Chains A and B, each alone.
Chain A
Amino acid sequence: MSNPPGAPSRSGSIANGPPSAGVAPGAGNQLPSTPSTPSQQNLNQIVLEYLSKKGYSKTESMLRRESAFHDAEGRPLVRRAEDAGGKMYERGYQLLLDHVSDVLEVYKPELSRLLWPVFVHSVLSLARSHYPKDSETFFNKYNDRFTREHQSELGQLQTVTAPEHVEESSIAKVYMSNKYRVTLTPMAYNVLVQFLEQKEEDGGSVIIALLEQHLHIIKAERGGPGAERSLAAMLARGGEEYDMPAEDEGIPGHNPGSANVDPNAPNKLPKLLLAAPPLDPDAMEDIRAELIEADTRNPPRPGQSSLLEEFEQSIKQEPQDEAASRDAVPLPPMMARDIAMEVQNIREHRDRFRIDPKSSGVGPGVSVCLYTFHNTHNSISVMEFSPDLKFVAVGFQQSYIRVWTVDGSPLPILTPGQVSAVTTPVNSKKLIGHSGPVYGLSFSPGTPKPSEDSPNTNSRYLLSSSADGTIRLWGCDMWTCLVSYRGHDAPVWDVRWGPHGHYFLSCGHDKVARIWTTDVIAPLRLFVGHESDVDVGCFHPSGIYVFTGGDRTVRMWEIQRGNAVRMFTGHTGHITAIECSPNGQFLASADDQGNIIIWDLQPGNRMKRMRGHGKGGIWSLSWSAESNVLVSSGADSVIRVWDVLLTPSEKSGDGLTKVENVVSAAGATGAPQTGSQKKGKKDVVVTPDQISAFKTKKTPVIKAMFTRSNLVVAGGAINELSH
């Protein structure tokens, strides 16, 4: 152990720091020693001679030992890492890094999860203690490891070099005010602590201090709450997911799935009522009558079930979950229009392209109709098809919305007073009202008309949200703005209608999601909890829960009580799309790193992670009517179809065969893995549950949507600049 590496930096950091150098630990205690060097040296000598003469041998040996850490000139030798000034974190971190790479293979994945929080807090501590240069060298030396998982955080962290930055930077605020939660098995934890205590002087104490101060380490047995951390599971994954965070890891610090962020919260989840609430008995009778009428008018073809049978079947189906009562979230009574929509829904559901749950290995061949927009000059920010597939609305950067009819027929425009098209019929209309780019669009529920004489069932309203902080409601008859809802004081990123069209959800830059109803201009509920912007939102099909995505977490809120009931962490990028399955069991969320994660809602855990999309954002997700196939689309100009129910564990059977399979799978992949590992880091790995991928020519696909009949409708603007 020698002095030189510490010396130059010390002088450097003192010179760079503000005059009050006393803040820097390790810098203060050496300044006064320099002037008194000769006398102190002599003094020691004299005292030692004196002690030996008097026979105080114990005191003498103690003094010898204690003065041994001073060099010939009497300056203290830097032994302890803490005394190395700004370098102490580098030494400590290097120590931890070496340990993690040397430790037994079993502990490696767990311990390597510690590196990121320790890295962040090292950087922040350096910035806070006025070591701008050390902070920079530290950052540059160790950041490579995290570029894949924490790219945007690295970007934010890089410029944090002064105490005032720590105060202001959003990421620093998050990390300083929360404890980062990591789960370790007791063995791994003990190995780590023993090692750090052993190497206390070489920087172990620095790390221990960081761990104690900023991390919340949960000691849990393997196979406990994090079942996916079991040895077999890790082996089966072939080491590919070491660099992905566990479900319960990270800043919110919560048990997997739980929204309770109290560190001592029990690992227990509130029960969810995921089934659709029962229909009103009167409405049910009305629907039956309508269905019988429809059946007699258009008798089912041979081999086809009648609409009524289809309906009865859907009611009789034993729900897997309990349903909420009808008045959990009050809805207006069903009108003739709602009943006609219900009839049409049942018909479309019957006539759909069926996707069998157990397909023959190849997966269903879905059909995709792509609408390509031209001459947009990159100015489209959002696109939405109406659920009846009558309209397509596009939000532009230039603050307006434009609506087209999908089939090119004239747009029905009602002018006040008369029902006529005075002007020449057009197939599109510009909706002008916003004063900022439009980021969210949503059509109210609607269906094609079930029969000629039924009430109009088309979508009646369009909601839009914009950077100007307002949400606007547009009528689909006259195409005029009806209401402007103000509540968010910052850009509103997303807006969604509820499943019955009475409520809607908005998510904003102000970290709050709000529930509104159309006839009140103030929000009914505020969902507060996200650490940064709420990027996306969606409703649960039962209408009693909503989901919001932002700050890398997905949260599930109960509308009636306004509290969070689930929280899911595990995304490594910004969440760009979420969508709940029609059966209410699963949630799919996608991020801009190309990952799609399926969450199982009731047990509150991650079902699987599906990879394949390139970076740049998956902008749209949609479920098939049977909730077994997911379609996704995004910036990489590819529409991908995924088999949701094919889980990695499904393949390995059960019981005893499981172990064998795991071993053989690991063995079989062992040889090629080593070769492909390096390549895999760069290439996008496509997980085997992808059914098909359809590449467009040059059209990043903004929206891809399953219709109720399981046709995929997609839209995007062709990238004209790229050629």
Chain B
Amino acid sequence: MSSLWNPDNVRDVAESVGISQMNKEVVDDLARDIDFRVSQVIEEALKFMRHARRTTLHTDDITQALRVLDVEPLFGYDTTRPMRFGEASIGPGQPLYYIEDEEVDFEKLINAPLPKVPRDVSFTAHWLAVDGVQPSIPQNPSTHDSRNTDLLPKGPGANPSLSALAGNDSVAIKPLVKHVLSSELQLYFERITTAVLDETNEEYRNAAYNSLHTDPGLHQLVPYFVHFVNEKVTHSIKELFVLRQMLCLLEAILRNQSLFIEPYIASFIPSIITCLTGKHLGNSSDSPSAVYSLRELAASLIVSISQRHGKSSHTLKPRLARTLLKTFLDPTKPLPSHYGALFALQRMVGPAGVRTLIIPNLRLYDAILREGMADDVKRADAEQVISVLMAALMVGASDVVEGANGVASEPELRTRLVDKVGEVMGTKVVDSGNMKLVKVVLHTNIDI
């Protein structure tokens, strides 16, 4: 087998034109010649492919090549319609391939409805790069795709900073600059961290917070403080004092006007959320009210962050709200967690948020409340939750104008309220006698 072209085909063609006897050498020679001619055509066709700025050969290219070589082109092949090959068997293990060529019925073709007009060629513009950096917009490949290292030079002489800029720090190239802290700053950091954890000396603590709150030169230390807080919160979940001090520390840093805190917000939010909705904060000797006040502190921190920094990161607020709502709707979480989540949520999202996020979920939540009220151990917690829910409803009702319309009779109102928000809360609302509350609950569209 010396040629790619099967010599048997040559024999078949010869027989078809009436030459029955052919020397084997002649057949082989012809087959090789066919090889050569075909490759000549392909070589020409590749030129057309290249000039059409493609990397796949089309039948059009072959047609053009044949024309250039002064050969009659093959008609009837179209690139836009993919070639379909049929398979038939002429014997065991001898498949025969052929091009499927449908017979077209003119009658049908003429009467067929016109095909859909294909969509017109159009173009869109976007920034592939701005000042040498690819913006992460949907039109560009995601950073994960483009972070493959083979786009950038490697090896000796390659510029390491280029690679670092592209986010390839992991490829054995560490950023060249080490973060150097002056010894004064290190000392300061040590002093502050011991001071805030000093349970005995309140004055010392306050001085530390004051310093954190006012000192303009702390920017270098922010990541260290964030790390310190995260670590303490993770490891001292049982110590209410430590948790509270950590929240105070964060608050002091947040209030410091001279710090550019935005890049770090994402990294200390988890700590605050832990203090807000954690399952078991403090140990059994701590009074429940102390735990609740910690949660309230955390909640107010979250709220102030979302208000102050929500503008710079437009996803911050929705993300926080989603996290809190999830905690609230998770029946496996204990009631105090729900309390924390609700407390922060109702203050963060405002009246409209309460109406869309909290009220519609109350009817389902009723089961948990009832269970809590029935259980002696949990009753106190349940009452706390009810009180925060009432507060939430008040928030929800705060921008509702009180109507002077006639009021239905109390029993009827009660059934309607119970129907809307469940037994426990329904009763509470009616008992409160606040018609604004009743109204907001009744008028909230529950089936969102």
Contacts and interface: CB of A to CB of B under 8 A. Distances in A.
A155 B130 contact: no
Nearest to B131: A365
Interface in A614-664: 616-617, 619, 635, 638-639, 641, 648, 651
Contact of B47 (A378, A509, A665): A509
Contact of B162 (A155, A509, A691): A691
Interface in A371-396: 371-378, 380-382, 392, 394
B53 A369 contact: no
Given A371-B125, A377-B80, A437-B48, A491 B25 contact: no
A373 B125 CA distance: 9
A370 B125 contact: yes
Contact of B123 (A238, A374, A397): A374
B121 A372 contact: no
Nearest to A19: B25
B127 A695 contact: no
Contacts of B43: 152, 155-156, 170
Interface stretch (A323-331, A558-566, A679-687): A679-687
B103 interface: no
Contacts of B2: 132-133, 136, 161
Interface in B15-68: 25, 28-29, 32-33, 35-36, 38-40, 42-43, 46-48, 50-56, 58, 60, 64, 68
B159 interface: yes
A402 B126 contact: no
A714 B128 CA distance: 9
A467 B156 contact: no
B124 A371 contact: yes
A363 B161 CA distance: 10
B52 A362 contact: no
A565 B234 CA distance: 76
B35, B125, B134, B139 interface centre (most CB from chain A within 10 Å): B125
B150 interface: yes
A158 interface: yes
Nearest to A639: B128
Nearest to B140: A697
Given A158-B39, A371-B123, A382 B33 contact: no
A159 B25 contact: no
Nearest to B158: A688
Interface residues of B, number: 64
Interface residues of A, number: 95
A617 B53 contact: yes
Contact of A697 (B52, B139, B155): B139
A362 B161 CA distance: 7
B156 A373 contact: no
A109 B29 CA distance: 39
A665 B157 CA distance: 9
A715 B123 contact: yes
Interface in B127-153: 127-134, 139-141, 145-146, 150-153
A372 B36 contact: no
A368 interface: yes
Q: Which of A164, A574, A669, A692 has the most CB of B within 10 A?
A: A692
Given A155-B43, A365-B133, A686-B150, A397 B52 contact: yes
B60 A437 contact: yes
A490 interface: yes
B141 A361 contact: no
B52 A381 contact: yes
B165 interface: yes
A420 interface: no
A507 to B, nearest CB: 10
B139 A161 contact: no
Contact of A687 (B40, B120, B141, B153): B153
A437 B185 CA distance: 71
Contacts of A16: 25, 28
Interface of A: 15-16, 18, 132-133, 136, 152, 155-156, 158-162, 164-165, 168-170, 238, 361-378, 380-382, 392, 394, 397, 402, 404, 406, 436-437, 439, 467, 490-491, 493, 509, 533, 535, 574, 576, 592, 612, 616-617, 619, 635, 638-639, 641, 648, 651, 665, 668-669, 672, 676, 683-697, 700, 702, 712, 714-715
Given A373-B123, A380-B53, 17 more contacts: A132-B32, A162-B29, A168-B40, A365-B131, A365-B133, A370-B127, A374-B119, A382-B53, A392-B123, A406-B125, A437-B52, A491-B64, A535-B50, A617-B50, A619-B53, A686-B150, A695-B145
11 contacts: A156-B43, A162-B33, A169-B36, A170-B43, A373-B122, A377-B80, A404-B123, A437-B52, A612-B151, A669-B156, A694-B134
Interface of B: 2-3, 25, 28-29, 32-33, 35-36, 38-40, 42-43, 46-48, 50-56, 58, 60, 64, 68, 80, 118-134, 139-141, 145-146, 150-159, 161-162, 165
